[in-house]
Chain A
Amino acid sequence: MPPSLTARHPTTADPRPRTPKTWPLAAALTIALLAALTAAVSWGSTSIPPAEVWAVVGRRLSGEGVRPGTDDLIVWQLRVPRALLAALVGAGLGLVGTAVQALVRNPLADPYLLGISSGASLGAVGAIVLGAGAGGVLGIGLSGAAFAGALVTFALVWAVARRGGGFAPLRLVLAGVAVGQFLSGFTSYLVLQAGDEQQTHSVLFWLMGSLSGASWPLLAVPAAVVPAALLLLQARARALNALLMGDETAAGLGVDVVALRRELFVVTSVLTGVLVAVSGAIGFVGLMVPHACRLVVGGDHRRLLPVSALFGAVLLVVVDIVCRTALDTQELPVGVVTSLIGAPALLFLLDRRLGSGS
């Protein structure tokens, strides 16, 4: 006879507030995203009323034709692609952060931990300094170089992490950090070597993250990769949950751990490469978004993945509005603002969590 056990364990207060229902939350975030996108297109050096924003978008989408005038051009050619790029990059960073944190089983891990972004940065900086980026600071040539850098780094980290077999979390992190630092050294050297002041400035600006290169053609790759990554990760949501408990637990639950790690590594690498290629190195979003979302919806990836993607999108759209409008004279790099907002927010969250007792 098993003894009655409940009697000896008085029910203690749930340290986490009741998990909100997923669908209302997702709906609220979607509405917030639409509002943020509208605001992003509406606000700027030229203020355009939200109604006019949607009118332009409606005309463009219905193929009704273009009404001559600068508003149309500003909305459709400049601000809409930029707002959409912000949303895609934000969603991608939220996803990649969630995936890396499960991959290395550490809730404070960061996409940059795997070194991929350092490789992408090196590729991009190399392109700028060596002249391939002549057609504009964020031309396609630069994106291509960044992506190539990401892939080469990915292969390198992969090879180092694979030595001795398996994809142990610690080995991945160490390989990523070591390779990342190595490449960062090269990047710094290239920045110092940059010939003129203008070049140095554009390199540094890019390294701090920027969405100013947004254009319709630039949107194509992230618009395909980010939703694909969400679908793929969402399909593995249960396996990701199991992985949080440990490799042995996951194996016991019927998860092919080695194959899952390999998949996650590929997905996070490709995603990071794509994101860095279009937006530079934007820190803190990948770390903070999953962490914050976890505090609200809990650790179950079936909820966490879509919520992180949505929240990341909203966050980066809002941050980019700040970047464009905070200073009259120049734009702020996105990475500067995400760090300024992200670090205190993270400290606040940690403090609150420790305060709630565990």
Chain B
Amino acid sequence: MRVDIEDLDVAYAGRTVVSGVGLLAADGEIAGLVGPNGSGKSTVLRTVYRHLRPVAGRVLLDGTDLRELSPARAARHVAALPQERGGDFELTVREVVAMGRTPYKRAFAADDAGDRDTVARALAEVGMAEQSGRRFSALSGGERQRVLLARAFAQDPDVLVLDEPTNHLDVRHQVDLLALLRAARRTTLVSLHDLNAAASVCDRLHVLHAGSVVASGPPREVLTPALLADVFGVRAAVVEHPLTGDPLIAFDHREPVPQGHGANPAASGARSHSVEAGRPQGARSHSVEARRPRSQGSE
């Protein structure tokens, strides 16, 4: 299923957080949302899983406006993995995953064999089948994220929406989770802080800045030194990953781009510490679709 977001404006507590956002995830594609803190990534995702209602604009699932569907029907298409942790309510892993069946069940309906089968398969898919009787709140961070992903799988959705799913995970658990995402082969919208992770797992990237999309396209076209300087305010070289061939961003962690200097020439890859097989990716400008951010909010 294809997701199109058109001209999305979202206000939160009376303040416009996102304006004029348009982006897409083609069928079966992993589309990544990247951008600095407060750029609007989570806000965009929250409108897709209907936690927030947009002021203007639409979210389309294969051309159907999400708002034309009932909440339960929409939830059969779109499953979410938000950033919240939930309270400690003595729920077991299996009970948490079984929540994924909520949009399919009427009031008073018990889980049937089909539901139990779906839940078991989702648990197996994330490798948590043997942990199904454990208390959810007693799990480690990596285990929790896998269980929540299993809950999303149990929803049997066409579209997965994940908000920073690798936050607070060590690198092995990050790799595990992203591998599960790739293996799921579903249309996916995912926000990621780690640009290198985004560059290697996403088929398409949308860069957000101050509530607007400033660049969209394949990772190797979007992630240029100039964009990294402009949007993230960091100096970086983009080289080729020696193992995978994906774009690899080598940040300069010693000093940022001076304030107010958008495209700092020094940041555009000229001084890249060249990796043997690598060559700086991309030209000096952003990708074809690149735009300057609109008005700058206070970030």
Contact = CB atoms under 8 A, between A and B. Distances in A.
A5 to B, nearest CB: 3
Given A246-B84, A249-B84, A253-B99, A238 B105 contact: yes
A294 interface: yes
A189 to B, nearest CB: 37
B82 A5 contact: no
Nearest to A294: B90
Contacts of A242: 99, 102
Contacts of B180: 2
Given A107-B87, A241-B95, A253-B155, A248 B51 contact: yes
Contacts of B283: none
Interface string A232-248: 00111011011011111
B196 interface: no
A41 B79 CA distance: 54
Contacts of B79: 252
Interface residues of A, number: 46
Contacts of B91: 241, 244, 298-300
Contacts of A3: 176, 179
A42 to B, nearest CB: 36
A300 B95 contact: yes
Given A12-B134, A252-B79, A295 B146 contact: no
Interface stretch (B67-75, B246-254, B284-292): B67-75
A334 B238 CA distance: 73
Contacts of A358: 88, 135, 137-138
A252 B134 contact: no
Interface residues of B, number: 58
A15 B102 CA distance: 26
Contact of B87 (A4, A105, A251, A252): A105
A217 interface: no
Given A254-B73, A299-B91, A1 B134 contact: no
Contacts of B89: 107, 244, 294, 299
B208 interface: no
Contacts of A352: none
A207 B47 CA distance: 47
Nearest to B182: A2
Contacts of A105: 86-87
A239 B101 CA distance: 11
A247 B86 CA distance: 9
Interface string A1-18: 111111001011011101
Contacts of A236: 107
Contacts of B138: 15, 357-358
A150 B78 CA distance: 41
Contacts of B131: 9, 11
Considering residues A2, A3, A254, which has the most beta carbons from chain B within 10 angstroms of its beta carbon?
Answer: A254
Interface in A248-303: 248-249, 251-257, 294-295, 298-300, 302
A5 B133 contact: no
Chain A interface helix/strand/loop/mixed: loop
A119 B76 CA distance: 43
Interface string A99-120: 0000001110000000000000
Contact of A246 (B86, B110, B135): B86
Nearest to B109: A238
Interface string B56-73: 000000000000001111
Contact of A6 (B70, B92, B130): B130
A61 to B, nearest CB: 30
Nearest to A235: B107
Contacts of A16: 90, 92, 133, 135
A131 to B, nearest CB: 46
Given A105-B87, A235-B108, A238-B99, A252 B137 contact: no
Interface in B162-176: 176
Contact of A248 (B46, B88, B127, B129): B46
Which of B79, B89, B133 has most A Cβ within 10 Å? Answer: B89
A198 B101 CA distance: 58
14 contacts: A2-B127, A3-B179, A6-B127, A12-B134, A18-B133, A164-B13, A236-B107, A238-B101, A241-B99, A249-B99, A252-B81, A252-B161, A253-B100, A299-B90
Which 6 A-B residue pairs are closest in the complex by CB-CB distance?
Answer: A254-B75, A5-B127, A252-B80, A246-B84, A254-B103, A248-B82
Given A3-B176, A238-B102, A246-B82, 5 more contacts: A241-B91, A244-B86, A245-B96, A251-B80, A302-B110
